[in-house]
Amino acid sequence: MIKLIATDMDGTLVDNKGKINDKVFDLIHEFDDKNVKFVAASGRFYSQLNNNFNKVNGDMILIAHNGAVVKYNNNGKTLYTNAIKKEDIENVMNYKLSLDGFVFLGGESDAYVIDPSEELLHKFAKSEVPVVVLNSLEDINVPIYKITYYIAEGASDEFVEDLRQNISDNLEIVVSGYNWVDVMNKGVDKGSAVRILQEKFQVAPKNTMVFGDYYNDLSMFKVAHHSYAMKNAPEDVKKKANFIADSNENDGVYKVLNECIKKLR
């Protein structure tokens, strides 16, 4: 029996217009009634995720910043956080980005930037994430959970490897989208966050279902027997999953969840 469900957002639960099927919210409420933990696991900010699921009446859990922040939706109760040390933040920010793009620091709800470009401000204007402009890193007085690079031409293997060679060994790099590269503390990923929830709620991998479409979802596939890659995922991501769901555009996650809830009714 499924007791814990975790789904990625972009390219998975969310369609290409950024929408979630309203029927999903009803299912989340029903899963909560059945004592099945429903989890959204994303690289997004906690504040974004909370807004994405403001139609949910019951409890669910939000994994933000690729696993660095784990909190409930309604009461905001914190289950786990893993902030980056200030010296490691400075280490990453000293890396000179030679490609067209930008970098920002991810707090729980706000993005922190130094000398922001017009492109960065434009992207955040559409995201509902507040942008805090800093004069220097010394101005940071909140925990930072993730450092994100946006690379306009795409995050190449060469860029990722060069970044890896130039930052602290305490940190881990994950490609979270075609243009996006995230830096977190070593050991922080969606799979580790799901594992923390499995331990807290005493749920085995055989009773865990996860959905994802990209490389930052692979860690979740490792901790769940019912691992679903989306039909729209890269082929090498699909190979790591035990099952394939229909595409995000065709409500792939909803279709599987709907079949799952039928078995619990």
92 in the same domain as 36: no
220 in the same domain as 167: no
CATH number, domain containing residue 40: 3.40.50.1000
Distance of alpha carbon 115 from alpha carbon 98, whole angstroms: 16
Q: pLDDT tens for residues 21-75?
A: 999 999 999 999 999 999 999 999 999 999 999 999 889 999 999 999 999 998 8
Q: pLDDT tens for residues 161-218?
A: 999 999 999 999 998 888 999 999 999 999 999 999 999 999 999 999 999 999 999 9
Percent with pLDDT over 70 in the chain: 100
253 in the same domain as 211: yes
Rg (CA), the chain: 18
pLDDT of residue 53: 97
pLDDT of residue 196: 98
pLDDT of residue 58: 86
3-state helix, strand, coil in the chain (%, to 5): 35, 25, 40
Q: H/E element holding 25? A: helix 22-33
Range of the domain at 142: 86-185
Confidence band of 101 (pLDDT split at 50, 70, 90): confident
Distance of alpha carbon 251 from alpha carbon 245, whole angstroms: 9
77 in the same domain as 192: yes
The count of structural domains within the chain is: 2
pLDDT of residue 108: 94
Please tell me whether residue 27 adopts helix, strand or coil conformation. helix
Domain boundary among 164, 185, 206: 185
State the average pLDDT over residues 111-120: 88
Domain boundary among 185, 208, 232: 185
168 in the same domain as 127: yes
Better-scored residue on pLDDT, 156 or 211: 211
Location of structure tokens 């679903």: 228
106 in the same domain as 50: no
Distance of alpha carbon 181 from alpha carbon 160, whole angstroms: 8
Query: b/e map of 19-52 (b: 16 or more CB within 10 Å)?
Result: ebbeebbebbbbbbeeebbbbbbbbbbbbbbbeb
Distance of alpha carbon 200 from alpha carbon 187, whole angstroms: 18
pLDDT score of 121 more than 90: no
Torsion sign across C-alpha atoms 53, 42, 136, 86: positive
pLDDT of residue 146: 97
Entry pTM: 0.93
194 in the same domain as 128: no
149 in the same domain as 108: yes
258 in the same domain as 245: yes
Confidence band of 126 (pLDDT split at 50, 70, 90): confident
118 in the same domain as 97: yes
- Mean pLDDT, the chain, rounded, equals 94
Q: Which two tokens stand for residue 145?
A: 């959970």
pLDDT of residue 122: 84
Distance of alpha carbon 177 from alpha carbon 174, whole angstroms: 9
CATH number, domain containing residue 174: 3.30.1240.10
State the average pLDDT over residues 144-159: 92
Domain boundary among 185, 219, 243: 185
Residues 6+ apart with CB under 8 A from 234: 214, 215
pLDDT of residue 3: 98
Cα end-to-end distance, the chain, whole Å? 12
Percent with pLDDT over 90 in the chain: 84
Contact 174, 184 (CB under 8 A): yes
9 in the same domain as 64: yes
Confidence band of 120 (pLDDT split at 50, 70, 90): confident
90 in the same domain as 23: no
